[in-house]
Structure formats: structure tokens, C-alpha cells
Amino acid sequence: MWLELILASVLGFVIYWFVSRDKEETLPLEDGWWGPGSKPSAKEDESIRPFKVETSDEEIKDLHQRIDRFRASPPLEGSRFHYGFNSSYLKKVVSFWRNEFDWRKQVEILNQYPHFKTKIEGLDIHFIHVKPPQLPSGRTPKPLLMVHGWPGSFYEFYKIIPLLTDPKTHGLSDEHVFEVICPSIPGYGFSEASSKKGLNSVATARIFYKLMSRLGFQKFYIQGGDWGSLICTNIAQMVPNHVKGLHLNMAFISRNIYSLTPLLGQRFGRFLGYTEKDLELLYPFKEKVFYSIMRESGYLHIQATKPDTVGCALNDSPVGLAAYILEKFSTWTKSEYRELEDGGLERKFSLEDLLTNIMIYWTTTGTIVSSQRFPENMGQSIMVHRHEGEAWLSRERVLFLPGVFKQSWAAKTQGNFEL
């Protein structure tokens, strides 16, 4: 009797969920000003200026002096990565950083692609723009906007760009050849941070749409992970007629049956087409989802409420910054890496690549603080308004690139940094 009542209640709730859903809405294309002071009356300079990543002896000397002053605290016996970044392994990372890592060489690698800046809504927006080295006769490249998240950067796309712009050389089909634009989110990397409160994913989506328009693209494809997935979803909602395809590494889904199924059990998941890998990642639900959220979401609460406080420490200590960010690259790549003394970092990444990402935060003084302010707008950005957080997967606006991007719902729930 009670089982029948429970099943009837669940079924009734599911039916009500779908019947009462609001229709998907587009976002209004508004305007904003995020630079210092009031918006000037003069028209904003829309020129696109070449930009180059640079370094100096003074910058490297200051980094080395700060690394040399690092004070390590011993980890608890057998703690591995349970309490965060294991300081015993951190000593190895610091030693490599101080004695082997060549920042000048990495700057050259960063500059292998053309960099630019342009003013949009009062902010100097940085981006790289990579065109195909060669095109099949009579073909034009597909413009693709790729947006990173936290604690990543534009650099996370460097190894996939050749596969998109020159696929044939890398053994892939040249059916799809792309022209790639990778901007830095305002307050990240070399993009200027907002001087005002309230810059969220919707405002960033508008800024990036204006960037694509300024580059002459009326219709384009978009791809995003982490915050980039929400920004790209907002772009698709804002200017749907300009977006030819949307690909997300991490899908924000609301009012969708897939957001309910984890609560309904594995049998219902199989009925809806979940693969065995999906079920393996989801169940037991309490362990895989609930406990993981409790263990791993502390940073988000801090950054959504008091980002500047922890930012003071991270902006002053390069080793602290590395530990804070690299711990995420460990656990978010695979939660089981918590059980390893080294966090499994070098199983998926090289220390050179990891530290290059850290250096982008470190050398652009203050961006770790401004990047952490993005979650401060969570209440304004995620699942508050009817249009925000809706998955556009049902509208067949998702671009599938077999052999380049991973394509499963489960892959979107873990490993945000792995393409």
C-alpha cells in the first residue's frame, strides 16, 4: 500500500514537473559598463590590437624568491589527498617549479598563436584567434568560440586547437575545419577585471557575442566547460539565430527528467538509456553525489561569499596558489585520486602544463582574486530566472565532433579539464 502511494506520488510529481514547465525563453540583448567610473559619452574604441605575452628577469626573480621562502607543514600520516594538497608531494612540485620549469620557454609556447585585445563594455578583453593553415579548395572554416572556466584559462585549449584548425594533418577527417577564437573571461588571464559588482555569466555572454560580431562572424559555433558552459548556454539563449551549434563539457540542466533520475534509482536510469558507465559514476547515489558535493564544494561557498579574503593569501604566495588550484585538477579529474599520495596529477597532465596555467594566474597580478569573484554572482546567474540553466540539448543545437570531444552525459559530470 505504502509502496503504491510512493510510486503514485513520484509519477504525479514527474507529470506535474513537465506540464508546469515554463517555455524556454531567449535572453534580452542589453548593454552594460564594467570599466572604472561612469560610462563615457564618447563611443568606445572598437579597435582590435595585437597582444603578446611577455616576462622579465624581475618577474622570474620575484617568483623564485617567494618560492624559496615557502614554509611547508607536514601532512598527517596516511592522509594522501584527503585534506587537500599533500605537502610532501607539493615539495616535489615546488622543486620542479624552482629548478626545472622554464617560464621563458612557456611564454614562447603561449605566443605560438596570435593574441589580441579589444575594449568591450569598458573592459580590455583578451583572446587568441587561430585560423586554419590550409583549407580544402572551395571551403571556408567554421568559426568556433571556445570558453574556459575556473581554475582554467585559454591555455587549456592549446593542444586541441591543431585538431580543429588542421585536422587532416593530425589524421582526422577534414569535413569540419574550424577557425578558433578563445577569449579570457573578464578577470581571468589577460582580460581586464570588472570594476563593478554584478558581472555574471549573462553579461559575459553578451561581451563574447559582441566580440564575435566585432570579428565579423554573424553565425558561429560555441563550446564551453565549467563556467564556459553556462556562458555559452547564455549566448545560445541570447542570440539563438546566430549560434549554429552548442557543445558543453558540463551541462547545467534544470527542469529536465535527467535531474530527477538519480533519485529514482538505477532501474529507472537504465529505462531512460543510461549506460553502465553512467550508472557506475552515479551510484551509490549517497556516496558518489551527496558525499562528493559535501566534500568538494567548500571552495565554492568561500568564493561565492568572501572571494577577496582567500584571494589575499593566494595572490601573495605562488606555492599557496599552486596548491589551491592543482588540488582541483587532481580531484576533479578523478575523485579516486584522493587516495593517492601525489593526487594522480601526473597521470593526466605534465607539470609543465599545470604550472603554465598557474603562471597565467600568478603573473597577471590579481586575477586569482577577480576570477574567484565569478561565483559571487551565483544567485544571479544559475537557475534563478526561468531562462537560466535550461539545457538546450533537446533543440538539436549541440555540435558533435567525434574523435575530438568526449560525448556522454557521464563525461560531463567529471573531468572538466579533460577533452
pLDDT in tens, 265-317: 667 667 667 788 877 777 776 666 666 777 888 888 889 889 999 999 999 99
pLDDT computed for residue 309 by the predictor: 94
pTM of the model: 0.82
- State yes or no: pLDDT of 59 exceeds 80: yes
* 335 — pLDDT class (breaks 50, 70, 90): confident
pLDDT computed for residue 29 by the predictor: 85
Least confident of 123-127, 160-164, 387-391: 387-391
- Are 177 and 167 in contact by the 8 Å Cβ rule? The answer is yes
pLDDT computed for residue 391 by the predictor: 38
pLDDT computed for residue 287 by the predictor: 65
Mean pLDDT of 365-390: 66
- State yes or no: pLDDT of 175 exceeds 70: yes
Least confident of 72-86, 122-136, 267-281, 390-404: 390-404
* 343 — pLDDT class (breaks 50, 70, 90): very high
pLDDT computed for residue 392 by the predictor: 37
* Sign, Cα dihedral of 165, 415, 27, 155: negative
Mean pLDDT of 376-388: 49
Mean pLDDT of 14-43: 74
- State yes or no: pLDDT of 352 exceeds 90: yes
pLDDT computed for residue 371 by the predictor: 95
* 384 — pLDDT class (breaks 50, 70, 90): very low
* 9 — pLDDT class (breaks 50, 70, 90): low
- Average pLDDT score over the chain: 83
- State yes or no: pLDDT of 91 exceeds 70: yes
- State yes or no: pLDDT of 411 exceeds 50: no
Is 179 or 387 the better-scoring residue by pLDDT? 179
Task: Give residue limits of the domains in the chain.
Answer: 113-254+394-419
pLDDT computed for residue 187 by the predictor: 97
pLDDT in tens, 200-227: 999 999 999 999 999 999 999 999 999 9
pLDDT in tens, 134-157: 888 888 999 999 999 999 999 999
pLDDT computed for residue 178 by the predictor: 97
**Per mean pLDDT, which of 18-32, 230-244, 299-313 is the most reliable?**
230-244
* 418 — pLDDT class (breaks 50, 70, 90): very low
* 365 — pLDDT class (breaks 50, 70, 90): confident
Mean pLDDT of 223-236: 95
Percent of the chain surpassing pLDDT 90:
65
pLDDT computed for residue 145 by the predictor: 98
CATH 3.40.50.1820 holds for 113-254+394-419? yes
- State yes or no: pLDDT of 377 exceeds 70: no
pLDDT computed for residue 82 by the predictor: 93
- State yes or no: pLDDT of 368 exceeds 80: yes
pLDDT computed for residue 223 by the predictor: 98
- State yes or no: pLDDT of 386 exceeds 80: no
